[in-house]
Structure 1
Amino acid sequence: MPLVEHLRELRDRMLRSIVVVLVIFIGLYFFSGEMYLILVKPLNALLPDAENGALIATGVASPFLVPLKLAFVMSVLVAMPYILHQVWGFIAPALYKHERRLAIPLFISSVFLFYAGVAFVYFVVLPLVFGFFTGSGPEGVNIMPDITNVLDFCLKMFFSFGLAFEIPIATFLLVRAGMVSAKSLGEKRPYIFISCFVLGMLLTPPDVISQSILAVPMYALFEVGLLMSRFLPSVTPDATSEE
């Protein structure tokens, strides 16, 4: 297709994605209050006055903006498979058959891994991190977290772990693209191990527990991606003649 047709198709696919996100957002907004209570449940369970509401809102518009922000982010997360489907539909005509066969499992795996990272944060990381923070404060200090700070903290953790869980896909693609070999990556294991802890320090709160909780799965996922790149069959140059 000519360039103008490509731009039109890109516009149409972007508009479809935006419409889907907005439709989901409208539906989720009516339940944004309940979603926020579910989000902060790991923290509320640790606060002494949870039954009467231990969270506070320091901003005038926070009670309105925080659920609004949560509903929007959740609508994007829910619509992510459709958004990736639109991305796939746009780039698929430019790929060869062998590339399409490889791209479809990678897209499905990337969505699954991202959601797995989000679930790992909610069910494992947040209870541990909140338990550490609420139990390490000085005696006599009343813990009353602000709802905006709690939401921002949770979203940061969700996206940090969601992206970190994409490491197997990134490792596999780097090897398959020829940018680096599986053997050279294996020889750099000590540096990658240290890099995982450095990233954990940058992406998580300043405590050893949350840093380790992110760094250890990151390194394990790197090993999974390295294993995939070694054992899955490589694409031969002759396959590029397929259309």
Structure 2
Amino acid sequence: MSPVLRKRSAARAQRAADGSMPLMEHIRELRNRLLKAFLGAMVGFVAMIAFAEDIIRFVQQPYIDLFPKGQDPSMFNLGPADFFLLKLKVAMWAGLILSAPVWLYQIWAFVAPGLHKREKRWAYAFVAAATPLFLAGATLAYVVVGKGLAFLLPGADDPVSNGLELTRYFDWVTDFMLIFGVAFEFPLLAMMLNLAGIVSAQNLLKWWRTVVFLFFLFSAIVTPTPDPFVMTGLAICLSLMYFGVIGLAFLNDKRKRRRNQLAGADYSQLGDEEASQLDYVPEPVAEPEPVEAPRPVRRFDDSI
């Protein structure tokens, strides 16, 4: 970026931060950011069309692994354009993931001028933690799908042949990966509420029985197999992350108590419904400064 453009961008960010940017300029800024994000996503979409079939084969792999060597694990289409549309769909999602740094930066560049320095640090930390958590959940879902197919599909001795429609199978697998990835973001949400001062570590610890029960209920609903092993594995992973968040929340609450004590305002011992004590001792008021007497204002008629 040239020095002139860099200077203009810094001036625009400063106007957005101090609230001096007009509404129409905000709208134009949003339009430009969305256009750049769309162009980045389109470049990613075009680049990933060549790899769409490889991604489809990767998603098919849990199904292919169920067949002994020599058997045909191929799937079928219901319509002549289904495979072509599926490749476009795969390229679109893969392009969004590939171009994520571009459109995430554009969103961040539009939102960041309105955030304080502390809020920006939190945002960086949450984005850095959310990505590996989502990938961990999606990876676990990919493994669970392989176990689920072995249970759900008919065996070699059953009077039903195995034949899956490709589009429905792909949607089924990717839905599971999305659900598991979002579920792994729940501990991050709990930590965010603690950092914002909405939920304390004591409350998180007090709710652990209810939260663990909800984790097992959620796992029983979303896992594709009725066996207890896959369900228990997902619930244990979520529960361990939740208890890890409780430990981090205790450290954060301890840090805030220490900071309040240094500032002379420790409210950690007060209940949620208990008001803090107020100091009613009056403070001395300084003598008022003298005010000049008003001067008469000459009317316009007098000057004629």
Unaligned runs of 5+ in 1: 239-243
Q: Which residue number in structure 2 is paired with residue 226 of structure 1?
A: 246
Q: Which residue number in structure 1 is paired with residue 179 of structure 2?
A: 160
Q: Which residue number in structure 1 is paired with residue 40 of structure 2?
A: 20
SS at match of 2:99: helix
Which range moves more in the overlay, 45-54 or 154-163? 45-54
**Given the two structures, how large is their TM-score scaled by the length of structure 2?**
0.69
Report 1 or 2 for greater relative contact order, CA contacts < 8 Å, sequence distance ≥ 6.
Answer: 1
Q: Which residue number in structure 2 is paired with residue 116 of structure 1?
A: 136
The structure number with the bigger radius of gyration is 2
Q: Which residue number in structure 2 is paired with residue 175 of structure 1?
A: 194
Mapping of residues 131-150 of structure 1, within 5 Å: 131-134=150-153, 139-150=158-169
Q: Which residue number in structure 2 is paired with residue 215 of structure 1?
A: 235
Unaligned runs of 5+ in 2: 1-20, 264-304
In 2, Cα distance between equivalents of 1:46 and 1:192? 36
Percent identical? 27
In 2, Cα distance between equivalents of 1:8 and 1:95? 20
Given the superposition, is the C-alpha separation of residues 74 and 56 from structure 1 closer, same or farther in structure 2, using an over 3 Å criterion?
same
Of the three residues 44, 54, 65, the one matched with 2:85 is 65
Of the three residues 2, 15, 27, the one matched with 1:7 is 27
Mapping of residues 186-225 of structure 1, within 5 Å: 186-205=205-224, 207-208=226-227, 209-225=229-245
Deviations 1:89-110 (Å, cap 9, x if unpaired)? 2221112212222221211111
In 1, Cα distance between equivalents of 2:53 and 2:173? 16
Normalized per residue, which structure has more helix? 1
Q: How far off is 1:28 after superposition?
A: 0.9
The one-letter amino acid of 2:237's match is: P
Q: How far off is 1:228 after superposition?
A: 2.3
Given the superposition, is the C-alpha separation of residues 203 and 139 from structure 1 closer, same or farther in structure 2, using an over 3 Å criterion?
same
SS at match of 1:40: helix
Instruction: Give yes or no for contact 2:187–2:241 (8 Å, CA) kept in 1.
Output: yes
- Is 1:151 the equivalent of 2:170? yes
Given the superposition, is the C-alpha separation of residues 12 and 50 from structure 1 closer, same or farther in structure 2, using an over 3 Å criterion?
farther
Of the three residues 63, 84, 90, the one matched with 2:110 is 90
Instruction: Give yes or no for contact 2:137–2:177 (8 Å, CA) kept in 1.
Output: yes
